[in-house]
Amino acid sequence: MVLALILLVPLAASLLALGNHRVAPWITLVATLIVLLLSGRAIWAVVDAGTVSALGGVLTLDPLAALYLGLVAFVGFTAALYSVGYLAARRAGQTEGDSTPRYRQYHPLFNVFLASMLAVPLAANLAVVWIAIELTTIFSAFLVAYEDSAEALEAAWKYVALTSMGAMIALLGVLLLYFGITNAGQAPTWAGLGLAAPGMAPAILVTSFVLWLVGFGAKAGLVPMHTWLPDAHSQAPASICAVLSGVETSGALYMLLRIYPSLSANPGIVNPQGWYLVVGLVTVATASLLILQVQDFKRLFAYSTIEHMGIVLAACGLGAGAHDLGATYQFFAHALTKSFCFYAAGLAVIVLGTQRIDVAGGLMKRSPLAGWSLLLGGIAIAGAPPFALFVSEFEILRTGFTAHQYLATGLLTVFIVLAFIAVMYQLGQVVFGETTDAAAAPVSPLPLTCRAALLIAAVPVLVFGVYLPPRLGELIRAAAMLMGGAP
Amino acid sequence: MQLAWSLDGLIAALFAVFGLGMIVTRQMLGVLQLFILHSLALAASALVLAVALGSPHLGWVAFITLTTKVIAVPLVLRWAAGSEIYERREVDQVLTIPISVLVAAGLALIAWVVAGPLVNAIHDRPFAAINVPTGLMSLLFGAFTVSVRREGVAQLMGLLIMESGAFFASIVLIHDLSVIVEVAAAIDVPIAVLVIGLLIRNINRVTGMTRVGLLAELRERR
Amino acid sequence: MSPITTHLLINLVQVVFLLLFSPLLEGVLARLEEIIQGKRGPSVFQPYLDIYKLIGKDEVVSEESTWIFRFAPIINFTMPVFVVLLIPALTSYPLFFAFMGDMVAVGFLMALGGFFVSLAAMDTGNVYGPIGASRTRMVGFLSEPVFILVFFSVSYIANATIPYIVNATWAESWSSMLQPAHLLVVIAFFMLILADEGRIPVDSPSGKVEIAMIAHSKNLEYSGTSAALMKWAGAMKFMILMIVFLNVLVTPWGLATTARLSDVLIAIPAVLLKLFVFVVVLAVIESSLAKLRLFRISEYLATAFVICLFAMSVRLAGLG
């Protein structure tokens, strides 16, 4: 029942938000709060009972899905809170001659977008999961194109075209897998996949996997299908960027993580870890190198998303032991940290009036809150202690070295360090230094809701590096076991 | 059964030819008409298989394909994107048409080769040898169309034939996808067309053209 | 009658069939197209009247031209007559001369005629002749690969290149007709007929603008009997291509199966009916397309080539 409500509440909110656009932000806020509470309840139930299902098996939730659900709900809530103030500030800040933003469509689309993302972990049938993923792309198209400028529309087009292309490729993979599972007499769900995988003909499983890798990889921003990501994640308004970077790409990555244990379980498939490792390393390498020459700090965070997706994949591929806690914790921490980073970036955009690194500068002087949050966000996403990403990356590297994968882990370390340096250098230019005249605009006070969202989002970022609540730790451990690692 | 096999093969050949036609047609209206024929071929194949395998579910698939892809998509696209985009033709192309056509032949070959081991691994699905390679071929043709064409409508049609290809391959494999799921997957197509059509309309409004392949403002500048 | 006489008579009947009915086919096609365009159109027997009128006129021959100009119409006229003896026009069993040449020989004979006509077009010093000749050669060499692929694709199934054997293989059963390779070959060959015959979308058969002509500018310089022969030869070539297309590829039925004269005579209306139906389809298709610009013809033929390539690969992959 709870699971069904999680889906129904945002849909209802979307309809209500269509009615009255003045009240819409608050409706969205209330809806996302309800969803967060309901998800919390569902996750509690999963930690106790292992797997929860509703509506006669149409909706299910197991630990990995519960983890992702929690992330979606939390990021959705903070984004809804943030967008209340952010959109108003952007509207006030538009000068004459700028294009008209699509204010009225924002909240209905946001709710429906959130509902489709919530459906990804909840749906039991694989084909329905695919439909949910395709719908997340479709509903976020006009959210990305919010600014209504030529660049925003270009970003939206590239986003929709490339991710839909990926989704169609993945469709064939999903249908092939569906066939393989039902042929083995299992139900077409994740559990069924796990049961059917050992006996499935390797050709079917391999073809499905390659199609998934290309298809869902395009949506997750894996190289070389990543070209849409920096554009879409920099042109969208900051709250949407947070949701896209934080949880939507993680959703595609979630699919790739879920197929991994099936590949390992099938004896006919040779070295699935190799695939994950190579793709992950190439992605991390490309992203780190690209961060060096980025010129826009929201694009910086977008490339950082690509890098972290690569790290999670490489962690999976680093063999026995590396992927159980490291990858899951990285997946978890990245969503929370990246959304925080984008909230900070949004505040920086409000204060500085520009996204470009060479034009911006002196953020700390103009607004200490924005400056400190951007700096902290940068440090956190680059993987420095005492933040959560440091713990997960350290765990990954440690288990990589103990598994004797020296070359791969060494390369991974090099690229992570490279990205760290690049992020710090670029953000330093924005945060410190003097303001240039071009960006000199009167400093309006930062919206209250934005600051509140920032603070709420900061809590997990600051806390989870040092202390993990036991229930949450149990959940992460259970999720990791589902990915096929040793306890 | 022999007749059904031949008929299905015939329909698969037409499916491939229509997909090829969509790669080379310059006029947007022509691309749309070829898409309608392509979807008709998909529905016809589903119907033939429904009769040959005695599966009423595939009959539903044919009917749903007919209503969503053949009827709803052109109407929705016309409404969303505005009818004057159909008068567009792609004047300059990324690859010349003879080269595109040869690349398409190469892609067809790749589809055949890749589908080989897959078809061998699939037992007790008699028509798999025809539909699976052809579906994969259509997937590759669609991906090629999206990459190579500059016009927005052509790229959209490329996406749609990718989905048609995936379904063409799957109708021989899966006989019991529940009707709700089938309907949901089918409704997803007009919604996608609606959103993408509106996007094309807005791109036309803001930039004055629909040649989305030429939008290249966002990149790292030195 | 002795078997020899019957055979000779049947051969003769086949040749007369071609000679007699080819202008009628042209006339019907022209009339149909005009009707579709909403006009009345000339009488279907107009080509006969034209040929008759032209034969009665004097010939004017340029002093600059050589023997090629005088002999080209004759060569062009006799080639189709030879060709019709090699293809299944009225009978499904091979006639006397059938084994003297297969489909490649058919192509060669037709090319011989075309070769002389092209040379003759350049012979007179008229400006438009060489333009038309060079364009025809361009279309010709672009369509050669398709021709060859079509013929070999079709022969691969029948394991022979003799048209009669191919005809017999296709005519066996419905299911052998309904193979995807067959359909693809049919599509490719149809596109080829449109290209080779100077029909829309490649060339305009009724257009009179010399600078846009491809195939029809070769006939500009002829007068009197030569013009009549060229016109008749054009009609015969068209009918031959249609006969090959219909009797070998699309509808290999309705042909005489025994060596009795009466059977052969009954086959004539059957074949005429098939030709007429095809002419209707052709008229509709021609009226709904627009002429391609010259440089687009290569794209058109490239598409035909790839479709044929598909047919070959489907056949080679053993999927029918």
pLDDT at A202 over 80: yes
Between the two ends of chain A, the Cα-to-Cα distance in Å is: 31
Q: Are strands A52-54 and A59-61 parallel, antiparallel or unpaired?
A: antiparallel
Q: Which mean pLDDT values do the consecutive 10-residue runs of chain B (222 residues) have?
A: 82 91 86 92 92 86 88 88 75 81 89 87 83 92 90 90 92 79 83 89 83 75 56
Mean pLDDT over each residue of chain C, to the nearest integer: 84
CB C150 within 8 A of CB C192: yes
Higher pLDDT, A307 or C185: A307
* pLDDT greater than 50 at residue C181: yes
Q: What is the pLDDT of residues C59-76, one digit of tens each?
A: 888 888 889 998 999 999
Contacts 24+ apart (CB under 8 A), B21-24: B21/C303, B22/B141, B22/B145, B22/B154, B22/B157, B22/B158, B22/B161, B23/B100, B23/B101, B23/B104, B23/B141, B23/B144, B23/B145, B23/B148, B24/B97, B24/B100, B24/B101, B24/C299, B24/C303
Q: What is the pLDDT of residue A358?
A: 77
CA distance A126 to A174: 7
Q: What is the dihedral of CA A159, A163, A168, A171, to 10 degrees?
A: -150
* Any C CB within 8 A of B112 CB: yes
Compute the C-alpha angle B172/B176/B178, nearest 5°. Answer: 130
Residue C208 Cα distances to C33, C42, C140, C203, C213, angstroms: 16, 16, 22, 11, 8
The pLDDT score that the predictor gives to residue A97 is 41
| CB-based burial label for C129 (10 Å; 0-12, 13-18, 19+) | buried
The predicted complex's ipTM stands at 0.92
Work out the pLDDT band at A443, boundaries 50, 70, 90: low
Residue in B with minimal Cα distance to C180: B10
pLDDT value for B220: 67
Cα–Cα distance list, A240 to A83, A255, A338 (Å): 8, 21, 12
Nearest to A396 by CA among A408, A387, A382, A380: A408
Residue with tokens 């439909």: A131
Q: pLDDT exceeding 90 applies to what percent of chain C?
A: 22
Q: How many CB atoms lie within 10 A of CB C5?
A: 10
Contacts of B187 (CB under 8 A, 6+ apart): B68
Percent of chain C at pLDDT above 70? Answer: 94
| Structure confidence at residue A415 (pLDDT) | 92
- 3-state DSSP call for residue C256? strand
Residue C94 and residue C104 in contact, taking contact as beta carbons nearer than 8 Å: no
Answer whether A389's CB lies under 8 Å from A341's CB. no
Q: What is the DSSP letter of B208?
A: S
Find the farthest-apart pair of alpha carbons in chain B and give their distance in angstroms, rounded: 64
Write the CB contacts of C169 (distance below 8 Å, at least 6 apart in sequence). C157, C158, C176
Q: Give the minimum alpha-carbon distance from C205 to chain B in angstroms, rounded to a whole number.
A: 24
Choose among A442, A427, A419: nearest CA to A362.
Answer: A427
Say whether A81 sits in a helix, a strand or coil.
Answer: helix
Q: Residue A54 forms beta bridges with which residues?
A: A59
The residue written with tokens 């921003």 in the block is: A221
Contacting partners of chain B (3+ CB pairs under 8 A): A, C
H helix intervals, chain C: 3-36, 46-55, 67-84, 103-123, 128-158, 163-170, 174-177, 180-196, 224-243, 261-288, 297-316
Q: Residues A336, A71: contact at Cβ < 8 Å? A: yes
Predicted confidence (pLDDT) at residue A100 exceeds the cutoff of 70: no
pLDDT given at position C96: 67
d(CA A1, CA A55): 7
Nearest to C76 by CA among C103, C110, C50: C110
**Cα separation values, A227 from A224, A234, B140, B216, C188, Å:** 7, 12, 19, 12, 39
Q: Which residues contact C56 (CB under 8 A, 6 or more apart)?
A: none
Segment A124-149, tens digit of pLDDT: 889 899 999 999 999 999 899 888 88
Q: Which of A272-286, C119-133, C226-240 has the lowest mean pLDDT?
A: C119-133
- Assigned token pair, B6: 């031949």
To the nearest whole angstrom, how far is the Cα of A200 from the nearest Cα of chain B? 9
**Which of B1, B5, B6 to substitute to test the interface with C, most C CBs within 10 Å?**
B6
Nearest to B13 among C180, C302, C305 (CB): C180
Letter string b/e over residues C256-282, b meaning 16 or more CB atoms within 10 A of that residue's CB: beeeeeeebeebbeebeebbeebbeeb
The percent of residues in chain A predicted with pLDDT above 90, rounded, is 31
Q: DSSP for A380-404?
A: HHHT-TTSHHHHHHHHHHHHHHHTT
Residues C234-243: tens digit of each pLDDT: 999 999 989 8
Averaged pLDDT for residues A391-412:
85
The shortest C-alpha distance from A138 to chain B (Å) reads 6
B13·C184 Cβ contact <8 A: yes
Give the one of A149, A171, A295 whose C-beta lies nearest to B163's C-beta: A171
Q: Give the pLDDT mean for A192-207.
A: 86
Band (A115; pLDDT cuts 50, 70, 90): very high
Contact assessment for residue C121 and residue C132, using Cβ atoms and an 8 Å cutoff: yes
Q: List, for residues A39-92, the tens digit of each pLDDT value.
A: 998 888 888 887 877 777 788 888 889 999 999 999 999 999 998 888 887 777
Instruction: Please report, rounded to a whole number, the percentage of residues in chain A having pLDDT higher than 70.
Output: 94
Q: Which residues of C touch B (CB under 8 A)?
A: 174-175, 177-181, 183-184, 187, 298-299, 302-303, 305-307, 309-310, 313-314, 317, 319-320
Tell me if B105 and C179 make a contact (CB, 8 A cut-off). no
Tell me, what's the pLDDT at C174? 64
Cβ within 8 Å of residue C161, ≥6 positions away? C102, C103, C104, C151, C152, C155
Chain C residues within 8 A of B10 when measuring between CB atoms: 178-180, 183
Structure tokens given for A165: 């292309």
CA distance C253 to A381: 76
Task: Mean pLDDT check: name the lowest of A166-180, A306-320, B152-166.
Answer: A306-320
Element of type H or E holding A405: none
Taking 80 as the threshold, does the pLDDT of residue A192 lie above it? yes
Q: Is A454 left (phi over 0), alpha (psi -120 to 50) or beta?
A: alpha
- For the entire predicted model, the pTM comes to 0.85
Kindly tell me whether chain A and chain B come into contact, counting contact as 3+ Cβ pairs under 8 Å.
Answer: yes
Q: A207 CB near a chain B CB, below 8 Å?
A: yes
Q: What's the full length of chain A, in residues? A: 487
Residue A359 or B200, more confident: B200
C302 and B129 within 8 Å at the Cβ level: the answer is no
Q: Say whether the peptide bond before residue A224 is cis (omega within 30 degrees of 0).
A: yes
pLDDT at C319: 63
> Helix crossing, C180-196 with B2-24: angle to 10°?
40
CB proximity list for C270: less than 8 A, separation 6 or greater: C254, C255
- Each residue of B180-195: b (16+ CB within 10 Å) or e? ebbebbbebbbebbbb
One-letter amino acid of A402: T
Q: Across the B/C interface, how many CB contacts are shorter than 8 Å?
A: 68
Mean pLDDT of A320-346: 82
Higher pLDDT, A328 or A211: A211
End-to-end CA distance of chain B: 64
The residue in chain B having the minimum alpha-carbon distance to the alpha carbon of residue A137 is B192
Q: Tokens 């889906």 — which residue? A: A7
How many Å apart are CA B188 and CA B181, to the nearest integer?
11
Say whether A52 sits in a helix, a strand or coil. Answer: strand
- Domain range list for chain C: 3-316
Whether B16 contacts chain C with CB within 8 A: yes
E strand segments, A99-179: none
A452-461, B70-79, C16-25, C89-98: range with highest mean pLDDT: C16-25
Does A93 score more than 70 pLDDT?
A: no
Q: Do C314 and B13 touch (CB under 8 A)?
A: yes
Averaged pLDDT of chain A? 85
In this complex, the residue of B2, B14, B112 whose CB is nearest that of residue C317 is B112
Touching check for B120 and chain C: CB below 8 Å?
A: no
- Any C CB within 8 A of B113 CB: no
In this prediction, residue C182 carries a pLDDT of 80
A231 touches chain B (CB under 8 A): yes
Give the pLDDT of residue B221.
61
Kindly state the DSSP code that residue A447 receives in the 8-state scheme.
Answer: P
Q: Quote the Cα angle for B133-B135-B136, to 5°.
A: 65
Q: Distance between CA atoms of C76 and A406, rounded to whole angstroms?
A: 79
Q: Closest Cα to residue B49, out of B96, B87, B12?
A: B12
Q: How far is B4 from chain A (nearest CA, A)?
A: 22
Residue A99 has pLDDT above 50, yes or no: no
Tell me the sheet residues that pair with C271.
none
The phi and psi torsions of C43 (rounded to 5 degrees) equal -65, 150
Query: How far apart, in whole angstroms, are the C-alpha atoms of residue A79 and residue C211?
Result: 68
Distance of CA A448 to the CA centre of its chain: 25
Q: What pLDDT, on a 0 to 100 scale, did the predictor assign at position A320?
A: 47
> Measured between CB atoms, does B4 come within 8 Å of chain C?
no
H/E element, B214: none
